[in-house]
Amino acid sequence: MVAREPDDPPTLLHLHGGGYVLGSAFGYTPLAGALALAAETGVLVPDYRLAPEHPFPAAIDDAVSAYRWMLDRGLDPGDLTIAGDSAGGGLVVSVLLTLKREGLPQPGGAVLMCPWVDLAVELRDDDTMRKSAAAYLGGHPADDPIASPLGADLTGLPRLLIQAGTGDDRLADANALTDHARAHGVDARLELYPVDAHVFQMFWSFLPEAKEALQAAGRFVRDSEPREDRQAG
């Protein structure tokens, strides 16, 4: 966990990217630290299991366990936010859908940075993404709504902040997810930034657009308000 102050409670759960096959909590410490400063809270970055050794739904199970740990600390679910970048953004939606299925309380909101949600790789043919999806799914159907949320019923999910670069090759995912969420009554806000890099937020130390995006994410987290009886159903 990283935080601005030692006593800051971990109210933000960040799920790192890497196509479900790469990445670690250690490698995403700088981004988590920037988020902690922007959101003025503690950020928990779990080392969820990676494919192909641990295919679907191992990553989801680990992320849900991390969320349960936060709840077990007595934190109000409405005060919590789940964030993720790239595949981690898709994992966030999978976690929200799993919470809904299991009747667990939803967080106050979710931040999705350049999310990858098209595991069927239909929006843009990409060999690298196709291989990552195959490794993660391990033979599991790509149209499972928990794995590929573009085919899921998103009704009842918390408000979403979706950020993407206008030149990002995964921009179609962000657009499709926003439209799909809104069609199911979800409060989904899409923010576009004039950059080409995927997960440009990682370059906050020198890229003005990245710093602006993190500040917007921080405001979104700080503005989250507890809502009574936020229970999946």
Residue 227, pLDDT > 60, answer: no
Ordered by start, the domain boundaries in the chain are 10-222
Fold for 10-222, please state it: Rossmann fold (3.40.50)
pLDDT tens digits for range 188-205 = 999 999 999 999 999 999
pLDDT tens digits for range 91-102 = 999 999 999 999
Report whether 169 contacts 126 (CB < 8 A).
Answer: yes
pLDDT for 159 equals 98
Of 1-10, 26-35, 71-80, 120-129, which gets the smallest average pLDDT? 1-10
Hey, which residues are catalytic here?
86, 168, 198
pLDDT tens digits for range 154-179 = 999 999 999 999 999 999 999 999 99
Residue 233, pLDDT > 70, answer: no
pTM attached to this predicted model: 0.94
User: HSE (CB half, 13 Å, CA atoms) of 231?
Assistant: 4
